[in-house]
Structure 1
């Protein structure tokens, strides 16, 4: 079964490169969004398995968006170090965190498998 993914990040460059990377690794990127409004609409329309949410969405926080996502597991992503976000991640409904430079289809699959069993 193919994992369906929505990418939420305010950087168009990151969205495009993450889409290319994940698509080559068997993850179907069904939508991308640059802000909370677009993200909630995309998630509602696409009903993905996973939503990658950037911690910093310009003027918005991905931590404010995460609890509002009703379809799919949330994985927070950032170029910040996990230690800098530990407290916020612990309080978040996200199933995990991936540094942007460690994003991969395998990492997403692994985090999803930890919540299914």
Structure 2
């Protein structure tokens, strides 16, 4: 991966303006500087697409940390995390994510109710909702099909590719 820096052609040639012809301003040239070997593009197949902006909602703080780390490593911009309905609605309005990943069981609250509120109130603007759970999707198939969510992922299948498949981006 490289970082492109625009520099004057005179600077690149080492003239730094000295000895240049009157009126010469130099043209911009892209100079490529190697980036860190730890830096990866969001999607190695499509460098022009903005990273997917995600809000992650789960009542388990350890899962929020681990899932955020995993998704960021895969190029997803995790713009926020929430552990309850009120916080999720507030953050969805403020952050305007592309996708909201919602745990089905939010402690005493229901992820299905949150998905409905996001869709009904427009809190998520144009955000798609994907339901997540440690349990198999077959346990919730009818509720997922009847609700506003775009799809479902088990927590063990959570990945940028899994999200992209549901959203039709892969």
Q: TM-score range by the shorter chain?
A: over 0.9
- What is the TM-score with the length of structure 1 in the denominator? 0.95
Greater helix percent: which structure?
1
Give the one of 70, 73, 87 matched to 1:21: 70
Give 1:108 shift: 0.7
Give 1:67 shift: 1.3
Count of residues paired in the alignment: 114
Q: Which residue of 1 aligns with 2:54?
A: 5
Q: Which residue of 1 aligns with 2:47?
A: none
Which runs of 5 or more structure 2 residues have no equivalent in the other structure?
1-49
Higher relative contact order (CA 8 A, sep 6+): 1
Written as runs of structure 1 = structure 2, the 5 A alignment for 1:1-117 is 1-69=50-118, 70=122, 71=124, 72-113=127-168
Give 1:82 shift: 1.1
- Give the 4+ runs in structure 1 shifted more than 4 A: none
- What is the TM-score with the length of structure 2 in the denominator? 0.66
* C-alpha RMSD over aligned residues: 0.9
